[in-house]
Amino acid sequence: MKMSESIKRYEDEYLKIKGVDKQQIIHYRALGKLWCEIMGDTELSSITLADISLFKSRMATYGQHRCNNTIHNYLCNIRMLFKYWKLRGEECLDYTIIPAPRKDPVIPHFLTAKEVEQLIDSTNIIRTKFIISLLYASGIRVSELCQLNRDTIRDGMFTVIGKGRKPRICFLDARSAFYMEKYLSERKDRLEALIITKEGTRASVSTIQMIIRNACDKAGINKKVSPHTLRHSFATNYVANGGNIRHLADLLGHSSLNTTAHYTHIVNNDLYREYMAHHTC
């Protein structure tokens, strides 16, 4: 069985039946394409640990730049692929001997509340104002935003289906509610989608990303800003204002507190007060 076939069958026989996130399937498809481009469409049974090591070293310099964390994710996908086929009785490398490189620590980029306001004020387009305000107020992912419908939000609350198909409750503030009412009142269509394009279709992730980039350029903010930056900004603002880290994990849909704890490294009011009280210059 060729590598390309092994990934296609893994997708059809396991990932789709399990009902994993669509993005995870896209990652496996990208892995298959990349492997075939770098290593050729090799037989699964002939792949050795040396081949995987060579793939790792070539991956870092092939085409676009890939950071260590991206490479880590690809190698973890390879481990899962080999684990599946080993359990199916196929002749292939033992997945337990395939090491995954350490992930680099990630420091989230964020905007201050003043910069978010600057971003909102930079445009006269109500849809853009609403998108920015809602992402910052709720901390939802851009993919979750695209799934929302008109009737999703009631009394300042709504539910999204996040990673792992886990539902969680989210909230919006008065500013977001104001822009939402204004945006929906200006629409003449009867489409159920909360955010639509000028062509009258449900907004995609790439559409929202472009809207945020354009607003950032207009605002003159000299930072790399994406929809996920607004999610980080929501979390950082929450921690800075003394929010409970466990509640923040629920709001963000994190299954592990270790993920949420990244924001305490950015804003630690207790540590700052201790520093100011005990440091002299």
Backbone angles phi, psi at 167, to 5 degrees: -80, 145
pLDDT at 261 over 90: no
Q: How far apart are CA 230 and CA 5, in angstroms?
A: 39
Question: Whole-number mean pLDDT of the chain?
Answer: 91
AA letter at 15? L
Q: Annotated catalytic, 163? A: yes
pLDDT of residue 42: 94
- pLDDT tops 80 at residue 247: yes
Which is catalytic among the residues 56, 175, 232, 254? 254
Residues 49 and 83 in one domain: yes
129 is catalytic: no
**pLDDT confidence band for 267 (50 / 70 / 90):** confident
In a domain, 104, yes or no: no
Examine the domain organization and report whether 92 and 168 are in the same domain.
no
**d(C-alpha 110, C-alpha 30), whole Å:** 29
Tens of pLDDT, residues 51-97 = 999 999 898 788 777 888 888 899 999 999 999 999 999 999 999 99
Dist CA 202 CA 261 (whole Å): 34
Do 68 and 121 sit in the same domain of this protein? Answer: no
**In-domain check, residue 227:** yes
Q: Residue 180: left (phi > 0), alpha (psi -120 to 50), or beta?
A: alpha
For this structure, is 279 an active site residue? Answer: no
- Is residue 22 domain-shared with residue 152, that is, in the same domain? no
> Is the domain of 118 the same as that of 91?
no
Tokens of 139: 């901390």
Residues 162 and 239 occupy one common structural domain: yes
Host domain of residue 222:
113-272
Candidate list 27, 150, 228, 262, residue with the active-site label: 228
Instruction: Note whether residue 108 is domain-resident.
Output: no
> pLDDT tens, 91-106?
999 999 998 778 777 7
Could you say which of 141, 183, 232, 238 is catalytic?
141
Q: How far is residue 70 from each of residues 25, 48, 102, 145, 160, measured CA to CA in Å?
A: 15, 21, 11, 24, 26
- pLDDT of 107 higher than 80: no
Does residue 166 form part of some domain? yes
Phi, psi of 162 (to 5 degrees): -95, -160
The residue among 38, 69, 97 that closes a domain is: 97
Sequence-distant (6+) residues with CB within 8 A of 20 are none
Catalytic residue among 74, 84, 179, 263: 263
pLDDT digits (tens, 9 = 90+) for 12-38: 999 999 888 788 899 999 999 999 999
pLDDT of residue 105: 76
- State residue 99's pLDDT score: 87
Tell me if residue 141 is catalytic.
Answer: yes
Radius of gyration of the chain (CA): 22
Instruction: Pick the catalytic residue from 163, 213, 218, 262.
Output: 163
Query: Which amino acid would we find at residue 279?
Result: H
Please say whether the beta carbons of 153 and 97 come within 8 A.
no
pLDDT band for position 132 (cuts 50, 70, 90): very high
Query: What pLDDT, in 10s, does the model give residues 157-166?
Result: 999 988 878 8
Is 102 domain-assigned? no
Residues 79, 94: Cα–Cα separation, whole Å: 9
Give yes or no: residues 124 and 237 share one domain.
yes
Q: What is the reported pTM? A: 0.78
Model pLDDT, residue 166: 86
Does residue 214 register a pLDDT over 90? yes
Report the number of distinct structural domains present in the chain. Answer: 2
Same domain, 148 and 258: yes
132 and 59 within one domain: no
Q: Does a structural domain hold residue 65?
A: yes
Average pLDDT, integer, range 197-218: 94
User: Using one digit for the tens of pLDDT, what is the confidence trace for 139-179?
Assistant: 999 999 999 999 999 999 999 988 878 899 999 999 999 99
- What is the number of residues in the chain? 281
Q: What is the CATH number of the domain that holds 251?
A: 1.10.443.10
Query: Do 89 and 130 reside in the same domain of the chain?
Result: no
**Residues 264 and 138 placed together within one structural domain of the fold:** yes
Is residue 31 within 8 Å of 82, Cβ to Cβ? no
Q: Is 103 inside a domain boundary?
A: no
| 233 plus 144 within the same structural domain | yes
Per-residue model confidence (pLDDT) at position 217: 93
The mean-pLDDT minimum among 13-17, 111-115, 150-154, 265-269 falls in 265-269
What would the mean pLDDT of 252-264 be, rounded to a whole number? 83
Phi and psi of 28, rounded to 5°?
Answer: -70, -40
Q: What is the mean pLDDT of residues 223-243?
A: 92
* Last-in-domain residue among 65, 97, 129: 97
